[in-house]
Amino acid sequence: MILDKYMILSDGQAITTSAASDNEIDFGAASHDVDQGTPIYLEVWLDTAFDTSSNTLTITLKDSPDGTTYTDRMTILEATATSSLLTAGLLRKFSLPNDLARYIELYYTCSTTLSSGVINAFLTIG
């Protein structure tokens, strides 16, 4: 799969404490022109599994009109380390809502300090 660097939210991002994705996506940038009606999907992959079984991870999609003030839009994933966080692979893929503001980011909320987990998150078309 070939990825556009402007459509990557997390590229090998180590998740140890609660934090925003390394990157935000600006849908207003000229280089992000997508035909209207074309579905845009968010894929979240666990590249390296977490090595602990007592924590939880919640991934939230946020949007912003100005790239500064972000609002929670939806919960992407709520997982415990005893479930999907112990196996590398696709965690979630879904179509983005049509009414997002200009900027988006993900926010990773950890119940406590996590270790070893690495996330890749990016947008795909169609």
The CATH number, out of the four listed (2.60.120.1110, 2.130.10.30, 3.40.50.300, 2.60.120.560), of the domain defined by the range 5-125 = 2.60.120.1110
| Position with higher pLDDT, 70 vs 111 | 70
Q: How confident is the model at residue 120 (pLDDT cuts 50, 70, 90)?
A: very high
> What does the block give as tokens for 72?
């929670």
Q: In this model, does residue 75 exceed pLDDT 90? A: yes
Domain ranges of the chain: 5-125
**What's the residue count for the chain?**
126
Amino acid at 20: A
Phi-psi region of 23 (alpha: psi -120 to 50; beta: other; left: phi over 0): beta
Mean per-residue pLDDT, 60-87: 88
Residues 12-60 have pLDDT tens digits of 999 988 999 999 999 887 555 555 677 899 999 999 888 766 678 899 9
